[in-house]
């Protein structure tokens, strides 16, 4: 049997970077301000339907018919800087740097030259196993990475091969089924069709594998078929609003009370579907991250854990490029928790260290830090919590109630024993 590792089923993209001044792109020479999608990852259809964008498209007579949204996005004027990305590939590289990872995705045969670069990067950044990936007709997926002046971004997607999966690929006994069986945990995201995530999650739960869901990739509601099948849901604050229906910001600032309200609403949805024990892990940018355990309830802060952030080593102490930082955090967290058996708080600190390193480097996959680099950053002191989250933490680093620590200690032992037994088979 192969060595246990994290399995990522998801997307890979040719990333096309463009730095904007300050928040404007050009479609066939027409300026379009994209400030309204800052911080979002959206398919072409959602980009065209975004209220702030759609109004400008209408005024410029650039509206497109349904199904032609990707053609509209392809009218974006260059220049572009090409790199490797995709939520699935980025998370796989991060998990591979920490523990070990297999990625199952689709490459488009029409993008043969670009695919060579993608495969080389997956090998170089995390030694990711791609032996069971698909190679199909058409192009590989593409992402337009639009960089704002503060180095935050908006990402617009062309599906390509990411949207083309055959039903046989998710059948029992398929290479994908075997990969799930051999994994320590399965990571999903929403840059592939919902049905793929649903079928993979079903197989994983039947095989008693944790299913970790990155809800990024679209602003659509979470597929109801997935809700009973997920072990952990991991949105950022904007994505949490999409899937819970509760706003997490007031006056443009993330509020802890609103995050808790949104998680409460989300947990209620899951409980109604028979999955009240789902964990919610929310990434909060400069505010760090918060974990809400299986037994968390809004009326109490028990089973709630907050971890802050590490100082950056960039000359101005600010991020150089945030592209892929969330993917880095999630892949590092899953590898640390389920691969190495770390508890929730320790896995969150590890992921925070990796994520802080990733924003110091331009590009998505090239920014996934080595294990050695993450170990070094994790030994440093964390920054004091922001004022909004100061009450959540005891000290500068994190706050996890004893109940969370006790539960995660049990999980840690169980994961370690399982990994040991798998290695001995």
pLDDT digits (tens, 9 = 90+) for 163-175: 999 877 777 788 9
- For the chain, helix, strand, coil in percent to 5 are 45, 20, 35
Q: Identify which of 136, 145, 131, 158 has the alpha carbon closest to the alpha carbon of residue 71.
A: 158
Say whether 371 sits in a helix, a strand or coil: helix
Q: Which residues of 164-188 are buried (b: 16+ CB within 10 A; e: fewer)?
A: bbeeebbeeebebbebbebbbbbbb
For the chain, the distance separating the N- and C-terminal CA atoms, rounded to the nearest angstrom, is: 7
Q: Determine the pLDDT at residue 171.
A: 77
| Average pLDDT for 192-212 | 96
Q: DSSP class of residue 251? A: T
Q: At what angle do helices 325-334 and 87-98 cross, to 10 degrees?
A: 50
Q: Determine the pLDDT at residue 402.
A: 52
Q: Spell out the alpha helix ranges (H) of 250-385.
A: 256-272, 325-334, 344-358, 371-378
Residue 407: pLDDT band by 50, 70, 90 thresholds?
very low
pLDDT value at 406 more than 60: no
- Structure-model confidence comparison of residues 404 and 56, the more confident one: 56
Residue 401: pLDDT band by 50, 70, 90 thresholds?
low
Which residues fall within 8 angstroms of residue 228, CB to CB, at 6 or more apart?
273, 274, 275
Burial class (CB in 10 A: 0-12, 13-18, 19+), 233: buried
Q: DSSP class of residue 386? A: P
Contact yes or no for 326/283 (Cβ under 8 A): yes
Q: What are phi and psi of 74, to 5 degrees?
A: -70, -5
For a pLDDT cut of 70, what percent of the chain falls above it?
91
| Average pLDDT for 219-244 | 95
Query: What is the pTM for the complete model shown?
Result: 0.86
Whole-angstrom Cα Rg for the chain: 20
Q: Determine the pLDDT at residue 3.
A: 84
pLDDT value at 231 more than 80: yes
| Average pLDDT for 388-414 | 51
Which domains occur in the chain, in start order? 5-15+85-424 (3.40.1190.20), 22-82 (no CATH)
Burial class (CB in 10 A: 0-12, 13-18, 19+), 112: exposed
| Average pLDDT for 384-395 | 69
| Average pLDDT for 211-237 | 95
For all residues of the chain together, what is the average pLDDT?
90
Q: Determine the pLDDT at residue 391.
A: 63
- Structure-model confidence comparison of residues 397 and 100, the more confident one: 100
pLDDT value at 375 more than 60: yes
What is the distance between the alpha carbons of residues 282 and 186, in angstroms, rounded to a whole number?
A: 18
Q: Determine the pLDDT at residue 386.
A: 87
For a pLDDT cut of 90, what percent of the chain falls above it?
80
Q: Identify which of 381, 414, 290, 370 has the alpha carbon closest to the alpha carbon of residue 97.
A: 370
Parallel, antiparallel, or unpaired: how do β-strands 183-188 and 249-250 relate? unpaired
What is the distance between the alpha carbons of residues 240 and 257, in angstroms, rounded to a whole number?
A: 13
Q: DSSP class of residue 309? A: -
Residue 390: pLDDT band by 50, 70, 90 thresholds?
confident
């Amino acid at each position: 049997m192969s060595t246990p590792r994290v399995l990522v089923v998801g997307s890979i993209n040719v990333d096309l970077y463009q730095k904007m001044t300050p928040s404007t792109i050009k479609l066939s020479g027409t300026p379009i301000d994209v400030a309204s999608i800052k911080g979002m990852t959206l398919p072409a259809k959602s980009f065209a339907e975004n209220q702030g964008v759609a109004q400008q498209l209408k005024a410029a007579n650039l509206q497109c018919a349904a199904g032609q949204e990707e053609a509209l996005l392809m009218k974006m004027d260059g220049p572009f800087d090409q790199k490797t990305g995709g939520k699935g590939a980025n998370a796989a590289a991060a998990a591979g740097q920490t523990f070990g990872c297999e990625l199952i995705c689709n490459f488009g045969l029409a993008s043969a030259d670009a695919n060579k670069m993608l495969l080389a990067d997956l090998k170089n950044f995390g030694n990711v196993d791609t032996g069971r990936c698909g190679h199909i007709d058409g192009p590989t997926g593409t992402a337009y990475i639009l960089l704002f002046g503060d180095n935050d971004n908006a990402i617009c997607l062309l599906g390509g091969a990411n949207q083309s999966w055959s039903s046989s690929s998710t059948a029992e006994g398929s290479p994908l089924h075997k990969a799930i069986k051999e994994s320590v945990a399965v990571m999903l995201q929403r840059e592939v069709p919902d049905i793929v995530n649903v079928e993979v999650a079903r197989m994983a739960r039947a095989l008693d594998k944790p299913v970790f869901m990155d809800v990024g990739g679209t602003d659509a509601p979470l597929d109801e078929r997935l809700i009973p099948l997920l072990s952990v849901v991991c949105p950022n604050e904007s994505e949490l609003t999409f899937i819970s229906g509760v706003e997490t910001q007031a006056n443009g600032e993330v509020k802890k009370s609103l995050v808790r309200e949104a998680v409460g609403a989300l947990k209620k949805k899951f409980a109604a579907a028979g999955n009240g024990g789902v964990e919610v892990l929310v990434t909060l940018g400069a505010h760090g991250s918060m974990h809400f355990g299986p037994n968390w309830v809004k009326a109490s802060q028990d089973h709630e854990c907050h971890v802050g952030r590490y100082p950056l080593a960039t000359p101005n102490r600010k991020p150089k490029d945030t592209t892929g930082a969330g993917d880095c955090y999630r892949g590092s967290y899953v590898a640390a928790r389920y691969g190495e058996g770390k508890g929730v708080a320790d896995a969150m600190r590890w992921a925070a260290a990796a994520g802080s390193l990733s924003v110091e480097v331009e590009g998505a996959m090239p920014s996934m830090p080595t294990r050695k680099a993450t170990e070094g950053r994790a030994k440093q002191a964390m920054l004091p919590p922001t004022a909004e989250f100061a009450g959540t933490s005891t000290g500068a680093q994190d706050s996890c109630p004893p109940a969370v620590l006790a539960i995660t200690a049990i999980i840690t032992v169980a994961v370690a024993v399982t990994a040991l037994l798998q290695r001995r088979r």
